Amino acid sequence: MRLKNFTILYVEDEETTQELISEILKTSCKEVFIANDGKKGLELYKEKSPDIVLSDIAMPNMDGLTMSEAIKEIDPNQPIALFTAFSQSSYLKRAAEIGIATYILKPLNEEQFFNSLNFMAIELEVTRAESKHQG
Amino acid sequence: MEYNLKQISNLIENQDNLEDEKEFKLASVSLVCSIVNINENHKKEYAHLFKKDLNLQEDELLNIQKKILTNRLNINKKIHYIKKELNNNIYQIMLFLKILNKFAIIDGCNQESYQEFENIRDEFLKEYY
What CATH number is associated with residue A47?
3.40.50.2300
Least Cα separation, residue B94 to chain A (angstroms): 7
d(CA A74, CA A9): 15
Tell me how many residue pairs between chain A and chain B have CB atoms under 8 A apart: 60
Indicate the pLDDT class of residue A70, thresholds 50, 70 and 90: very high
**Shortest CB distance from B108 goes to which of A2, A89, A127?**
A89
Nearest partner of A56 among A79, A72, A38, judged by Cα: A38
**DSSP secondary structure code for residue B88 in this structure:** T
Indicate the pLDDT class of residue A66, thresholds 50, 70 and 90: very high
Q: Which residue range forms the structural domain that includes residue B50?
A: 5-125
Least Cα separation, residue B52 to chain A (angstroms): 18
Average pLDDT per consecutive 10 residues, chain B (129 residues; last block may be shorter) = 53 51 80 74 71 77 73 80 91 92 77 90 94
**Cα torsion at A98, A99, A102, A107 (round to 10°)?**
10
Q: Which residue range forms the structural domain that includes residue A83?
A: 2-134
**Shortest CB distance from B1 goes to which of A102, A115, A127?**
A127
For residue A61, the one-letter residue type is: N
Total domains present in chain B: 1
b (16+ CB within 10 A) / e for B37-64: ebeeeeeeebbebbeebbbbeeebbeeb
Residue B61 has a pLDDT of: 76
- Report the pLDDT averaged over residues A107-125: 94
Contact between B115 and A105 using a beta-carbon 8 Å cutoff? yes
d(CA A29, CA A3): 5
- A94 pLDDT higher than 80: yes
Residue A123 has a pLDDT of: 93
ipTM reported for the complex, 2 dp: 0.90
d(CA A108, CA A21): 9
Give the whole-number percent of chain B exceeding pLDDT 90: 23
**Shortest CB distance from B105 goes to which of A2, A101, A126?**
A101
Residues of B in contact with A93 (CB under 8 A): 107-109
Least Cα separation, residue B70 to chain A (angstroms): 32
Total domains present in chain A: 1
User: Nearest residue on chain A to B112, judged by CA atoms?
Assistant: A86
Instruction: Provide the whole-model pTM.
Output: 0.86
